Amino acid sequence: MGQLLTAHGEIQTPCFMPVGTQGSVKAISPKELDESGAQIILSNAYHLFLRPGTEVIKDLGGLHNFMGWQKPILTDSGGYQIFSLALLRKINDEGVEFQSHIDGFKHFLTPEDVVQIQADLGTDIMMQLDECVHYPCAKDHAQVAMKRSLDWAQRSKSASRGQGQLLFGIVQGSTYDDLRRESAQRLVEMDFDGYAIGGVSVGEPKGLGYDIADFTVQYLPAEKPHYLMGVGTPPDIIKAVELGIDMFDCVVPTRYGRNGSAFTSQGKITVRNALHAYENKPLDEDCSCYACRNFSRAYLRHLFNCGEMLGMRLVSLHNIHFYLEMMRKAREAISRDRYTEFKKEFLERYDQCV
């Protein structure tokens, strides 16, 4: 178990960061996040830069005040979004030109610009601009992107940022061990506040992503936080913690919640299924969230079948609570030196049929 100090408070790791891409965790209020035990949330600099605009948020006192969340915030640089959402992007060593996926307006951003955007947002942890490649990727392309990301990392490190704002470097290199090793070792030489493993959850087989994390983390300093970007399901996270990963983010809890899938201690269930029509029991009898304390599976199924917004909110809230409680139990197991046993018990129970 570790501790990460930020300008807006201390974070106990390993931790899960609910994703509030556009300054909001979908369907969940900041009060509900706080009551569920969230220590930190993630927002996205690319999306906020485009809408409502950095100048709006800065003028209104920064992202914390803008969204009513006074605990730590990590902002992703938007590198992945630029390379996946933006139109007609052009990349060179100076930066990236792209058209907004919202209105088609052209923008050009350098690594220094991206640091400045995050500084203006007032984020606690900022990420460098990196070039993310998709899977599969030819090695020569992966190498060019990795070396460019390293150059951008150095420029990001040299850019000015607010007092107390932390900056993480991002390891790239696609599926190639030698590129991953070089990227990690050179980033460590630059001495970032933390290190992210990027370029996973981009279409590669699940086992391969796990192998990439396992290989990469050995080259990162144990005393600095390790962040596995975009991962994942409860079993993915529980397995990755054992590798030495400290921080996770994923849209899965709220995305699945909005679509009627709930994570429970015995596995994932689909709320809409007919077998829940008469079930007068909560989503998870071991869960203390608002949804599980007050509503039956039968009622939640009814809400989804009627298209009621409350159903999406309640299952999303449950899923967030489940993830955060899972991480709390993981930290407790680590503190008691019984994480291996906890992992085995969690996975055996999670695989049961509900």
Active site residues: 76, 249
- Pick left, alpha or beta for residue 9 (phi over 0 → left; psi -120 to 50 → alpha; otherwise beta): left
Nearest residue to 300 (alpha-carbon basis) of 317, 288, 286, 321:
317
Burial letters for 203-238: b for 16+ Cβ neighbours within 10 Å, e otherwise?
ebeeeebbebbebbbebbeeebbbbbbbbbbbebbb
What are the φ/ψ torsions at residue 123 (nearest 5 degrees)?
Answer: -65, 155
Is the CB of residue 331 less than 8 Å from the CB of residue 13? yes
Structure tokens at 225: 């936080």
CA–CA gap between residue 194 and residue 208 (Å, rounded): 23
CA–CA gap between residue 20 and residue 269 (Å, rounded): 24
CA 294 to chain centre: 29
Structure tokens at 38: 């969230």
Nearest residue to 23 (alpha-carbon basis) of 56, 267, 350:
56
Structure tokens at 152: 């951008």
259's enclosing H/E stretch is none
**DSSP letters for 339-354:** HHHHHHHHHHHHTS--
CA–CA gap between residue 309 and residue 304 (Å, rounded): 8
Is the CB of residue 350 less than 8 Å from the CB of residue 266? yes
Is the CB of residue 213 less than 8 Å from the CB of residue 244? no
The three-state secondary structure class of 283 is: coil
